[in-house]
Amino acid sequence: MQQHPISAKDTYILILCGGSDPRLWPLSRADSPKQFLKLFNTESILQQTVNRALKITKKENIFLITNYKYLNRVKKETTGKIPPSNIISEPAKKNTTMAIIYGTSIIKNINPDSVIITFPSDHLIRNTNLFKTDILSGSILAKNTNSVITIGTRPLNPNPSYGYLIPKEYKKGVITVSKFVEKPDFVQAQKLISQNAFWNSGIYLFSVETIIREIAKNQPSYFKILNLLENNPKNEKVVNKAYQLSENLPFDISISEKTKNLLMIQASFDWSDIGEWGSIHNHSKKDENNISRLNTDTQIVSYNSKNCLVSGKEKKLIGLVGIKNVAVIDTPDALLVCSLDNSPNVRDLVGQIVKSKKTINYFLTKSKND
């Protein structure tokens, strides 16, 4: 098949930044989720994501979609980089399928011939040149096929927090996906890795025509919503009605698990969703005992301790004695101590926190670090 190039004017990016991931509690809270944290340098994860997007296309073609609660903060963090009119406010949290449909309806009204690249705002990608190369390759593929394109990465372990892509056929650097499995349990994840499965990065590329076809075929209820938004994507009443009608499904389940037209490019860049304290530790600088700290001002004295992640307020001294493979995350109003191996289960801990009136605000409100 002859490959037709894609012009910059037809390349659009939709950044999803409305989530409130509880796995990085107590730093990440409902009012200040992880995309706003400055974990690795002086810029927030969201700002780093926007910088990567600007290497791919012009700022007028970059859109961010977020919950109305975060609208002002997103505008503040992207001042001078993204036009304020390109920041889309969702009236409710209805997961990534609805966010992508809403964003697609707005971009379609601007350019129905566009290719849309959608990715989360809260991932760590350090080699931006390789990232750009892979994204541009995926964009050309999305323009020249009727497929949804995703970026896959080699799994480091059988982690139940990720989606898994099972390859069917390799052809000229492009992998046909035979099956997509979202968040399997540990045993199933082990089996998938034995089948040479990849982790799904959550980065998708598709033409407007392709995604509309996939929604119509696989999700009739969402297709009705797309039709509702088609001519009035910025009408507040129409948008509110669309969100009231919407289910609460991630794109990985609504489309990726159902489509027969999923292609994958293997990432050449380093990638982490930094969704748990274990992955934060893996990507942080460490001392001779494999101990890392989020805040360089935090003072640590350790005795017979190894392989730990420590976060403390400013110049607070934290002592470790006989501690191994543990995260210690200290904030003015909450303290987390957890095994790095079990750090994905912080989500379950937060589930208990929000069940009690006595503790619910320790997740709903900002950390006093902010």
Q: Considering the domain boundaries, does residue 1 fall inside one?
A: no
Does residue 56 sit within a domain? yes
**120 and 236 part of one domain:** yes
Structural domain boundaries, residue 337: 277-364
As a whole number of angstroms, the distance between CA 82 and CA 88 comes to 12
Q: Name the residue among 142, 147, 94, 141 with its Cα closest to residue 116.
A: 142
CA distance 203 to 174: 15
* Angstrom distances, CA of residue 306 to CA of 287, 290, 322, 326, 340: 10, 6, 8, 9, 12
Give yes or no: residues 254 and 282 share one domain. no
Mode of pairing for the β-strands spanning 198-207 and 163-171: antiparallel
Among residues 266, 297, 332, the one where a domain terminates is: 266
Reported pTM: 0.92
Phi, psi (degrees; rounded to nearest 5) at 13: -125, 135
Q: Which of 237, 266, 295 is the last residue of a domain?
A: 266
* Same domain as 306, residue 206: no
User: Is 74 in the same domain as 180?
Assistant: yes
Whether 69 and 207 map to the same domain: the answer is yes
In whole angstroms, what is the distance from residue 152 CA to residue 131 CA?
A: 12
Give the Å distances, CA to CA, from 267 to 125, 192, 207: 11, 18, 20
Output the six-digit token pair for 353: 């926190």
Q: Are residues 179 and 230 in the same domain?
A: yes
pLDDT by position in tens, the chain (length 370): 446 666 667 899 999 998 777 899 999 998 888 899 988 878 999 999 999 999 999 999 999 999 999 999 999 999 999 999 999 999 999 999 999 999 999 999 999 999 999 999 989 998 999 999 999 999 999 999 999 999 999 998 888 888 999 999 888 779 999 999 999 999 999 999 999 999 999 999 999 999 999 999 999 999 999 999 988 888 999 999 999 999 999 999 999 999 999 999 999 999 988 888 998 998 888 999 999 988 777 889 999 999 999 998 777 899 999 999 999 999 989 999 999 999 989 999 999 999 999 999 999 876 666 5
138 within 8 A of 201, measured Cβ to Cβ? no
Our separate counts of H helices and E strands in the chain read 12, 15
Residues 323 and 350 in one domain: yes
Residue 72 in domain: yes
Helix (H) or strand (E) holding 257: none
Rounded CA separation 217/225 (Å):
14
